[in-house]
Amino acid sequence: MEYETVELDDKDDALVIIDQTKLPGKTEIIRLKTAQEMWDAIYLLKVRGAPAIGVAAAFGIYLLAKQIDTADYSTFLAEFRKQKEYLDSSRPTAVNLSWALKRMEKIVTDNGDKSVEEIKRLLKTEADAIKAEDIRVCKTIGEFGLTLVKPGDGILTHCNAGQLATSKYGTATAPIYLGEERGYHFRVFADETRPLLQGARLTSYELHSSGVDVTLICDNMAATVMKNGWVDAVFVGCDRVARNGDTANKIGTSSVAIAANYYNVPIYICAPTSTIDMNTATGADIHIEERPAEEVTQMWYRERMAPEGVKVYNPAFDVTDHSLIAGIVTEYGIAREPYEESFREIFARKENAEYD
């Protein structure tokens, strides 16, 4: 892709993103400067996908911190926390948002002995590191994911866990992009992903423009392509993984997982360790965002598709039970049942790597 999903323009004090609600028809780059603009961009899905939201929030809070006009540490910290809470309230399910904001807050609280100017410089370094890590992490997830498939395989994916959802490579698409570079020539099926069509508008767009063999299907066709024997593996991203491996991802993922299990197709969740929330015990503890009815009844279509005033239920995510998941692919290896134990090993590997 020609543009980056999320960028910082430090000279112009702007968070620069592609407005993903306009894709694939129009590539519109927008510049966000105020807390309200950043909050709206996340809530309205102009920037979306768990890792991309985290990177946007890190750059966003840095820019908002830069605007705090005081040399007094306590005043700075109080205002920083206010802005952080505000950005954190934009979407509840993707843990990367609060993860990135907490990481930025730690820079402020760990450096209370430094000047406010110095803390602002450290915040910029941390936000840059969060983005650079995201790129490295996605690439490594791609390498591990690639060990689970073979050349020519059929891969099904749901929603968009691609480049547009991260800083580069994507998570669920990382094995596909790396495989493509190495001549694996996968056949990819992209679920359109109602109601907001991230699969149709974003995944099929980014894979098709990268030369990947991608076929767009409606969500209710996933079981059929599996029954036809066209799918060897399912790769999806996630917004939050609970300690027991239950996984929240875009609504419809659990139906894909149930069909995949029925047809003996393994489903793999691609999850940066930043998306694994060891403080959440099970999927029942994950807050599932509910969004406006209009997204179901009329958005993206010229005509209304449902009667005025009809009742609508519009949860943005669902939870796939850990028992349906064949493996959770992280940047420190592939976690398997029992997930809690496996995650502890993965986090220990991460800690050792950081220590080395």
Ligand X SMILES: CSC[C@@H](O)[C@@H](O)C(=O)COP(=O)(O)O
Residues in contact with ligand X by the rule CB under 6 A: 45, 48-51, 94, 159, 161, 165-166, 170-171, 198, 237-239, 249-250, 316
Written as one string, the DSSP assignment of 279-300 is T--SGGGSPPPB--THHHHTTT
Least separation in angstroms between CB 271 and ligand X: 8
**Cα 166 from Cα 52, distance rounded (Å):** 4
Strand, coil or helix: 218:
coil
Catalytic residue among 88, 191, 232, 239: 239
The vertex-69 CA angle with 67 and 75, nearest 5°, equals 110
Contact 56, 40 (CB under 8 A): no
Does 54 belong to an annotated binding site?
no
Least separation in angstroms between CB 13 and ligand X: 26
**Cα 161 from Cα 174, distance rounded (Å):** 9
Query: How many CB atoms within 10 Å of residue 218?
Result: 13
Least separation in angstroms between CB 244 and ligand X: 19
Q: Which lies closer to ligand X via its Cβ, residue 244 or residue 320?
A: 320
Least separation in angstroms between CB 323 and ligand X: 20
Q: Which lies closer to ligand X via its Cβ, residue 171 or residue 204?
A: 171
CA distances to 45, 47, 121, 138, 220 from 42, rounded to whole Å, are 5, 5, 25, 21, 28
Least separation in angstroms between CB 66 and ligand X: 27
Does 50 belong to an annotated binding site?
yes
Written as one string, the DSSP assignment of 68-84 is ---S-HHHHHHHHHHHH
Contact 173, 218 (CB under 8 A): no
Which value, in Å, is the radius of gyration of the alpha carbons in the chain? 20
Q: Which lies closer to ligand X via its Cβ, residue 78 or residue 218?
A: 218
Least separation in angstroms between CB 250 and ligand X: 3
Query: Closest-CB residue for ligand X?
Result: 237
Q: Which lies closer to ligand X via its Cβ, residue 20 or residue 68?
A: 20
Q: Which lies closer to ligand X via its Cβ, residue 249 or residue 320?
A: 249
Q: Which lies closer to ligand X via its Cβ, residue 120 or residue 297?
A: 297
- Closest residue by Cα to residue 204 from 16, 23, 5: 23
Show the DSSP H helices in the chain as ranges.
35-43, 50-66, 73-88, 95-110, 116-146, 174-181, 198, 204-209, 222-227, 253-262, 294-297, 339-355
Does 49 belong to an annotated binding site?
yes
Q: Which lies closer to ligand X via its Cβ, residue 64 or residue 159?
A: 159
**Cα 14 from Cα 8, distance rounded (Å):** 6
Element (H, E) at 216: strand 213-217
Q: Tell me, yes or no, if 321 is annotated catalytic.
A: no
The vertex-96 CA angle with 26 and 145, nearest 5°, equals 80
Contact 351, 274 (CB under 8 A): no
Least separation in angstroms between CB 146 and ligand X: 17
Does 48 belong to an annotated binding site?
yes
The residues annotated with a catalytic role in the active site are 239
Binding residues for substrate: 48-50, 91, 198, 249-250
